[in-house]
């Protein structure tokens, strides 16, 4: 996905010169992978490099204006983007349709999804990890966890309709429950558990992924935010409440499912009638009676 949110082409003008010979300079700004800032004149067909310097990072606007001024001998140059609009390619637009924030327009959804599929995940024993480790360790692990999880969703759950990070967990939704969407959800869960067990959580064996997968009714809606030129979308419904509550009963590397999904015949499962677990289940608020009878577990690869 390529999103150009920082324009590369700029117009440079000397505000102190008003005569007809005060021509605008067209430049390109590029920050290379090794943090080298390149300024090139693009008035002609072949860009001409005017400045090349390795920096620690892209400098703030004031410093960038000063550098450009030195290049052209202008004390306080007027610098503005050649094209002030944000440029998004097709893949970026498609990706935004699965996210909580999207580009503003006048088309807003109010849709009922009678058999949506909801995957809700969470790191087990993460509170203890936060308590026992410094901020550098915490930042390193959670960034690797979330970035790799999103990569996993984009690769194995490509057909999902929506995903959202929830701190040390995530919510992924498919608008329909069928064999294809179930297989995607299970592939995301199984693949990521395998990655955590063999890689990311090796140093922290107390950590693991738990979650819930449910098939239930959801409502998808969008609202406008005209001032920011954005719109926001979200889902509500019993299915999200159910997934969020019963996922807390999943142990490390365990995926619980609801009765409706278990009885669909599309997923291998086992049940638990352990009195202690059932008692914990019955303490959960806002659930239907059928979801309080027993706990269903996905018989996964691990």
CATH number at residue 205: 3.30.70.1230
CB of 159 closer than 8 Å to CB of 184: yes
* Euclidean distance between CA atoms 11 and 29, whole angstroms: 11
Selection from 90-99, 103-112, 250-259 with the highest mean pLDDT = 250-259
pLDDT average, residue stretch 245-262: 95
As to burial, measured by CB atoms within 10 angstroms (0-12 exposed, 13-18 middle, 19+ buried), residue 235 is: buried
* Euclidean distance between CA atoms 9 and 84, whole angstroms: 10
Q: pLDDT grade, residue 88 (50/70/90)?
A: low
- Token code pair at residue 95: 């990706």
Structural domain includes residue 237: yes
In this structure, what DSSP letter does residue 252 have? T
Q: Answer yes or no: do 207 and 250 share one domain.
A: yes
Q: pLDDT grade, residue 159 (50/70/90)?
A: very high
- Token code pair at residue 36: 């080298």
Q: Answer yes or no: do 170 and 136 share one domain.
A: yes
CB of 13 closer than 8 Å to CB of 22: yes
Percent of the chain with pLDDT over 70: 89
Residue 2, pLDDT score = 36
pLDDT average, residue stretch 32-55: 85
- Token code pair at residue 87: 């440029």
Domains of the chain: total: 2
The larger pLDDT score, comparing residue 13 to residue 184, is at: 184
Q: Answer yes or no: do 187 and 291 share one domain.
A: yes
pLDDT at 58 > cutoff 80: no
pLDDT average, residue stretch 240-245: 97
Structural domain includes residue 116: yes
- Token code pair at residue 41: 């004149």
How many CB atoms within 10 Å of residue 274?
12
pLDDT average, residue stretch 275-285: 93
* Euclidean distance between CA atoms 52 and 62, whole angstroms: 18
* Euclidean distance between CA atoms 27 and 32, whole angstroms: 16
pLDDT at 63 > cutoff 70: yes
Alpha helices (H) along the chain: 61-72, 90-96, 126-132, 135-156, 179-195, 238-246, 259-262, 275-282
The larger pLDDT score, comparing residue 285 to residue 225, is at: 285
Q: pLDDT grade, residue 151 (50/70/90)?
A: very high
pLDDT at 155 > cutoff 80: yes
- Token code pair at residue 129: 């990890």
pLDDT average, residue stretch 78-98: 74
Residue 83, pLDDT score = 67
Q: How far apart are the first and last CA of the chain?
A: 32
pLDDT at 64 > cutoff 90: no
- Token code pair at residue 71: 């290049």
Query: What integer best gives the mean pLDDT of the chain?
Result: 87
Q: Answer yes or no: do 126 and 270 share one domain.
A: yes
CB of 108 closer than 8 Å to CB of 223: yes
Q: pLDDT grade, residue 240 (50/70/90)?
A: very high
Residue 86, pLDDT score = 60
Q: Answer yes or no: do 107 and 137 share one domain.
A: yes
Q: Answer yes or no: do 160 and 253 share one domain.
A: yes
Residue 103, pLDDT score = 77
Residue 164, pLDDT score = 95
């Amino acid at each position: 996905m390529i999103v150009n949110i920082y324009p590369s082409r700029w117009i440079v003008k000397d505000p102190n010169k008003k005569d007809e010979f005060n021509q605008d300079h067209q430049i390109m700004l590029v920050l290379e992978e090794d943090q080298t800032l390149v300024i090139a004149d693009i008035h002609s067909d072949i860009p001409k490099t005017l400045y090349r310097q390795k920096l620690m990072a892209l400098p703030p606007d004031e410093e960038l204006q000063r550098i450009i001024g030195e290049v052209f001998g202008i004390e306080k140059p007027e610098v503005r983007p050649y094209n002030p609009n944000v440029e998004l390619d097709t893949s970026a637009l498609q990706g935004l349709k699965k996210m909580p924030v999207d580009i503003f327009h006048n088309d807003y959804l109010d849709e009922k999804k009678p058999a949506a599929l909801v995957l809700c995940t969470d790191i087990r024993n993460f509170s203890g990890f936060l308590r026992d480790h410094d901020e550098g360790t915490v930042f390193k692990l959670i960034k690797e966890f979330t970035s790799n999880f999103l990569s996993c969703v984009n690769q194995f759950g490509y057909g999902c309709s929506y995903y959202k990070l929830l701190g040390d967990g995530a919510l992924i939704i498919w608008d329909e429950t069928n064999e294809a969407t179930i297989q995607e959800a299970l592939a995301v869960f199984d693949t990521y558990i395998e990655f955590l067990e063999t890689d990311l959580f090796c140093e922290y064996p107390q950590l693991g992924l738990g979650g819930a997968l449910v098939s239930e009714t959801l409502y998808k809606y969008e609202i406008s935010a005209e001032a920011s030129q954005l719109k926001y979308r979200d889902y509500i419904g019993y299915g999200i409440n159910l997934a969020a509550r019963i996922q807390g009963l999943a142990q490390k590397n365990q995926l619980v499912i609801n009765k409706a999904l278990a009885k669909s015949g599309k997923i291998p499962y086992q049940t638990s009638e352990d009195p202690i677990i059932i008692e914990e289940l019955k303490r959960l608020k806002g659930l239907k009676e059928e979801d309080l009878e027993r706990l269903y577990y996905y018989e996964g690869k691990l």
